[in-house]
Chains A and B, each alone.
Chain A
Amino acid sequence: MRRNPNGTDVRVLSFAAVGFHGREWRTRLASTALALATLSIPASAQPTAAFVDLAPDLASTIADALGRGAAANVTFAPDEVRMQAEVVRLLAARGIGGGERADAAKVTAECSTNLRERVCVAEIRRGADRRVVMITRPRDRADDSGGEPIVGIDARPIYTQRHPMLDVADAGDRLLVLTPDSVALVGVDAGGARAIASQPIATARVWPRDVRGRLRVTASSYEAFLPGVTCRGTTAPFTLACADESAPWPAGGLANSGIAPSRNAFSTTDGFTFYEAAPVGSDRWLAVGERRVLTFVDATGHVPAHGDPADHAAGFRQTCAGDAAYVVTDGRSSEGNGDTLRLFRVVDTRLVPLPSTATLPGTLTALWSAAAGAGPATAIVHDVNAGRYEAFHISLSCAR
Chain B
Amino acid sequence: MKRFISLCLALASAAGAGAVVGAVRPQYGGTLRAEVDAAIGTPDPSSPSSDPAQDAARARIATLAFESLTAIEPDGLHPLLATAWQADPRASRWRFQVRSGVVLHDGTRLEPWQVAASLRASEPAWKVAAEDEAIVIETGEPLPDLPWVLADARHAIVVRGAGGALIGSGPFRIDRVDLSRVSFKAHEPYWRARAFVDAIQIDTGRRPEAQLADLEAGRADIVGVRAIDARRLTRRGLRVEASRPLELVALVFEPHRADDSALAWRRAFAATLNRDAMCSVVLQGEASPASSVLPGWLSGYARAIASADGPRLSASAIGALPIDQRTVVVRVDPADLVAQAIAERLAVDAREAGFTVKVQAPVGLAPRPDARLVRIAAPATTPDRALAQMAARLVVRGAPAAAAPPASAALEATYRAEQALLDRVVVVPIVHLPQLFGIGERVGAPSTAVARPAGGWSLADVWLQGGRP
Contacts and interface: CB of A to CB of B under 8 A. Distances in A.
Contact of B14 (A32, A40, A118, A134): A40
A24 B65 CA distance: 22
A32 B20 contact: yes
B1 interface: yes
B189 interface: no
B304 A15 contact: no
B84 A32 contact: no
Nearest to A21: B193
B2 interface: yes
Contact of B86 (A8, A13, A28, A132): A13
Contact of A15 (B13, B14, B23, B79): B79
Interface in B64-107: 72, 74-79, 83-89, 91, 97, 99-100
Contact of B76 (A12, A20, A115): A115
A13 B85 contact: yes
B1 A10 contact: no
A136 interface: yes
Contacts of A140: 76
A74 to B, nearest CB: 15
A9 interface: yes
B253 interface: no
Contacts of B415: 121, 132, 134
Nearest to A25: B26
Interface in A83-103: none
Interface in B1-38: 1-4, 10, 13-14, 17-18, 20, 23, 25-26
A25 B447 contact: yes
Contact of B301 (A8, A40, A112): A112
A134 B412 contact: yes
B20 A28 contact: no
A43 interface: yes
B360 to A, nearest CB: 36
A43 to B, nearest CB: 5
A123 B20 CA distance: 40
Given A11-B86, A14-B84, A119-B301, A141 B20 contact: no
B299 A114 contact: yes
Interface in B342-376: none
A204 B77 CA distance: 74
Contacts of B75: 139, 141, 144
Interface stretch (B162-170, B260-268, B270-278, B380-388): B380-388
B208 to A, nearest CB: 28
Nearest to B1: A112
Interface in B131-158: 144, 147-148
A11 B301 contact: no
B60 interface: no
A23 B74 CA distance: 20
Given A13-B147, A29-B23, A39-B13, A115 B72 contact: yes
B298 A39 contact: no
A33 B17 CA distance: 10
Contact of A28 (B147, B192, B447): B447
Number of chain A interface residues as a range: 35 or more
A268 interface: no
A77 B2 contact: yes
A36 interface: yes
Contacts of A111: 1-2
Interface in A24-58: 25, 28-29, 31-33, 35-36, 39-40, 43, 46, 48
Nearest to A9: B89
A12 B20 contact: no
A137 to B, nearest CB: 10
Contacts of B188: none
A117 B415 CA distance: 14
B383 A114 contact: yes
B410 interface: yes
A19 interface: yes
A8 B87 CA distance: 12
A6 B147 CA distance: 25
Contacts of B87: 10-12
A11 B300 contact: no
Contacts of B443: none
Interface string B423-459: 0000000000000000000000011100000100000
A372 B275 CA distance: 52
Given A32-B447, A119-B300, A110 B1 contact: yes
Contact of B99 (A17, A32, A139): A17
A21 B147 CA distance: 23
A68 interface: no
Contact of A119 (B1, B89, B193, B419): B1
Nearest to A123: B304
Contact of A43 (B3, B91, B301): B3
Given A19-B192, A23-B193, 15 more contacts: A11-B87, A14-B86, A17-B79, A17-B84, A48-B2, A112-B4, A116-B148, A116-B382, A116-B383, A117-B411, A118-B300, A121-B300, A121-B415, A130-B306, A136-B411
30 contacts: A9-B89, A10-B87, A11-B87, A12-B87, A14-B85, A19-B192, A22-B193, A22-B461, A23-B194, A28-B447, A29-B23, A31-B447, A39-B14, A46-B2, A77-B2, A79-B2, A110-B304, A112-B4, A112-B300, A113-B297, A114-B298, A114-B411, A115-B72, A115-B76, A115-B77, A116-B148, A119-B1, A123-B304, A132-B419, A134-B412
